[in-house]
A and B are shown apart, each in its own frame.
Chain A
Amino acid sequence: MILSRGTRAFLWAVAALVLAFVYLPLVVVVIGSFNPARTFGWPPEGFSLTWWSAALHNDGLLHAVWTSLQVAFWAVSVSLLLGTMLSFGVARYRWFGREAVSFLVVLPITLPGIVTGVALQNAFLNYSVLGISLGFWTVVIGHATFTIVVVFNNVVARLRRTATSFEDASMDLGAHTFRTFWHITLPSVRSALAAGALLAFGLSFDEIIVTQFTSGPAVTTLPIWIYDNFTRPNQAQIVNVVAAILILVSVLPVYATQRLAGEDSGMGRRRGRRRDRGADDLAFTAATAPAAEYPQA
């Protein structure tokens, strides 16, 4: 795009400000985690790994991490299964009510999390015919409600871009439905599934609002643990270490999505479609907003 020198300077300035704004708090937390003081203070009093060591030996914390991993595992499993089935139904068939269902499935991410939380808690406590009480499985149900969407979005977008001709050919050559699915369909949506699963995992691992409403007193996920320990006098610095770890660890899923996008654009590069990569990368990672991947209905 042809831009004047002034406009370019303005855009560079905006970008620099935005990046500074985005990274300032994150850098402060990471630096603060090495502060030996008992409470968070600025500037730090020195450098020490005391609180890192304390955090890594904190049983409550480790238990909360383990709980979060288990919740995320089940939420992702349910989402992969149901989200994939739904995306095949929506992308490959025409049926009455398809548009309505496509809208219904994105509703959990367009309505605020508190609505999902309040609705589920109310349903579990006041209308449950099965006598469910709040606990591990209600948290899984709560998380799966919105993680299904991200798997669905990723897979449905992929299906709309892939023709069924390979599947037809496979069947013409005598492969049955399941064999065709295993050898042809699954490999073509594999990276979309992986990206969806990764995003679903990230959303579940990070979720606090829905968890607060569906967990009851017995279940402590990592976000709940962080929330409970913010204000405790001797825990504040451990929370800071956890925060620093979570910031540093968030590089991993970004790296993974870049790899996934690279895998996909292997073909694209040869066809000179390199230009699309950026948008696809974002589509994978955009929590709940895979704009570029989502079909133009």
Chain B
Amino acid sequence: MTTTAPPQPSARGGQGVVHRVSGSLFRHPRGRLGVLLTPPLLWLVVAYLAALVALLVTAFYTTDSLTGQIIRQPTLENFQTIVTEPIYRILTVRTVSVAVLVTVIDALLAVPFGLFLSKVVSRRTQGFLVVAMLVPLWASYLVKAYAWRTLFEDGGVLDWMLKPFGIQSPGFGMAAVVVVECYLWFPYMVVAVFAGYERLPNTLLEASSDLGAKGWRTFRSVVLPMVFPAIVAGSVFTFSLTLGDYIAVSLVGGQVQFLGNVIYNYVAGSANQPLGAALSMIPIALVLLYLFLIRRSGALSEL
């Protein structure tokens, strides 16, 4: 007498597993979500959020001045130093002022340029200009900073260009830093502002002029309010990137130092990591404050 073999779960072996997994994923949307979210969230929390928290913790430690070892005893010493030593206030004010100045200059350039790119030129010219704006965006940051160094240096290109007019290049220093920071982050502003203009329907502009508004009035009452969130979105990048920069500053700044240069010296050289950590709370706090202030403008969803 032969017994009938119990039915195999699947005659096709490997494919059965795929079907089972697939079926259970289909029946359990929450399980599907869990599978999707666990690896990236684990990464974000472990590799990024935890590192930020660790940085905050280190900011409360101190360094043994003889051995250079970190003393893991929480104190407010670093923060007291930052508040009481005038040098850190000067550095912060200088860095933030330049970041604000760069943001304003870039916005002032990008608003007319974006308008031109989006609403004035023909499609063909626009295609060409968009490419012309994108190439420098992809060109290396370091190369661009280096290029400006060759322009600003003593006997460099600017000196040569300005000589016929009897003007000297300003050389390395604050003016060079502002120019270079404007240059480096300008594409980020243009891209955001241009996208804002492209979302602005031409019919609105026509309606405005049908209602009798001249160019300036249309710009002020229709265009600007609608493009404003895009400008703010661009400003997050110009502000934040200038705030944290130290490499371009060291290349064209001469004696000028930013907050970033001091943080770099303390941390990368391991001279005083806790103080460096405490100092880096300044840009973090400023950017978070800025993001908080602009949250109502609708710009955050455009980042």
Task: Spell out A's residues near B (CB within 8 Å).
Answer: 1-4, 7-8, 10-12, 14-15, 18-19, 21-26, 28-29, 32, 40-43, 78, 81-83, 85-86, 88-89, 93, 95, 101, 103-116, 118-123, 125-127, 141, 144-145, 148, 171, 176-179, 202, 206, 208-209, 212-213, 223, 226-227, 230, 239-240, 242-243, 246-247, 250-251, 253-254, 257-258, 274, 276, 278-279, 281-283, 285-289, 291-292, 294-297
B120 adjacent to A254 (CB under 8 Å): no
Query: Which one of A122, A212, A279, A282 contacts B51 once the chains associate, using CB atoms below 8 Å?
Result: A122
Contact with A along B219-236 (1 / 0, CB 8 A): 000000000001001101
Interface positions, chain B 214-255, Cβ under 8 Å from A, are: 214-215, 218, 230, 233-234, 236-237, 240-241, 243-247, 251
CB of B58 within 8 A of chain A? yes
- Give the Cβ gap from A44 to chain B, nearest Cβ, in Å: 11
Residues of B within 8 A of A254 (CB): 131, 134-135, 138
B263 adjacent to A118 (CB under 8 Å): yes
Known contacts A206-B140, A206-B141, A292-B198; is-contact A257 B155 (Cβ 8 Å):
no
Residues of A within 8 A of B70 (CB): 126
A243 adjacent to B140 (CB under 8 Å): yes
CB of B83 within 8 A of chain A? no
CA A145 to CA B188, docked complex, whole Å: 20
Known contacts A11-B115, A115-B244; is-contact A294 B150 (Cβ 8 Å):
no
Query: Which one of B191, B246, B263 contacts A286 once the chains associate, using CB atoms below 8 Å?
Result: B191
B54 adjacent to A126 (CB under 8 Å): yes
Query: Which one of A15, A251, A292 contacts B199 once the chains associate, using CB atoms below 8 Å?
Result: A292
A209 adjacent to B244 (CB under 8 Å): yes
A15 adjacent to B138 (CB under 8 Å): no
A119 adjacent to B116 (CB under 8 Å): no
Residues of A within 8 A of B58 (CB): 122, 126
B303 adjacent to A15 (CB under 8 Å): no
Known contacts A3-B215, A123-B50, A295-B301; is-contact A29 B147 (Cβ 8 Å):
yes
CB of B74 within 8 A of chain A? no
CA A78 to CA B42, docked complex, whole Å: 13
B303 adjacent to A202 (CB under 8 Å): no
Residues of B within 8 A of A110 (CB): 236-237, 240, 287, 291, 303
Query: Which one of B22, B264, B276, B302 contacts A176 once the chains associate, using CB atoms below 8 Å?
Result: B22
A112 adjacent to B120 (CB under 8 Å): no
- Give the Cβ gap from B128 to chain A, nearest Cβ, in Å: 11
Q: Could you jot down 13 A-B contacts, CB within 8 Å?
A: A25-B151, A105-B44, A110-B291, A115-B244, A118-B276, A122-B273, A126-B54, A212-B268, A213-B268, A247-B135, A247-B140, A289-B191, A292-B199
CA A88 to CA B119, docked complex, whole Å: 35
Residues of A within 8 A of B137 (CB): 285-287
**Total residue contacts A-B, CB cutoff 8 A:** 316
Known contacts A4-B215, A15-B113, A110-B291; is-contact A230 B146 (Cβ 8 Å):
yes
Interface positions, chain B 82-137, Cβ under 8 Å from A, are: 109, 112-113, 115-120, 123, 126-127, 129-137
Residues of B within 8 A of A42 (CB): 150, 155-157, 160
Residues of A within 8 A of B117 (CB): 15
- The secondary structure that dominates the A interface is helix
CA A276 to CA B200, docked complex, whole Å: 11
CB of B178 within 8 A of chain A? no
Known contacts A86-B40, A114-B246; is-contact A283 B195 (Cβ 8 Å):
yes
Known contacts A2-B209, A254-B138, A292-B198; is-contact A246 B284 (Cβ 8 Å):
no
**Nearest residue in A to B143 (C-beta to C-beta)?**
A243
A25 adjacent to B183 (CB under 8 Å): yes
CB of B260 within 8 A of chain A? yes
- Give the Cβ gap from B38 to chain A, nearest Cβ, in Å: 9
Residues of A within 8 A of B188 (CB): 286-289
CA A202 to CA B291, docked complex, whole Å: 26
Query: Which one of B139, B233, B287 contacts A26 once the chains associate, using CB atoms below 8 Å?
Result: B139
Residues of B within 8 A of A40 (CB): 150, 153
- Give the Cβ gap from B50 to chain A, nearest Cβ, in Å: 7
Residues of A within 8 A of B76 (CB): none
A227 adjacent to B142 (CB under 8 Å): yes
CB of B271 within 8 A of chain A? no
Residues of A within 8 A of B263 (CB): 114, 118
CA A240 to CA B127, docked complex, whole Å: 30
CA A141 to CA B48, docked complex, whole Å: 10
B138 adjacent to A112 (CB under 8 Å): no
Query: Which one of B21, B50, B138, B241 contacts A285 once the chains associate, using CB atoms below 8 Å?
Result: B138
A14 adjacent to B113 (CB under 8 Å): yes
B48 adjacent to A107 (CB under 8 Å): yes
CB of B52 within 8 A of chain A? yes
CA A278 to CA B264, docked complex, whole Å: 39
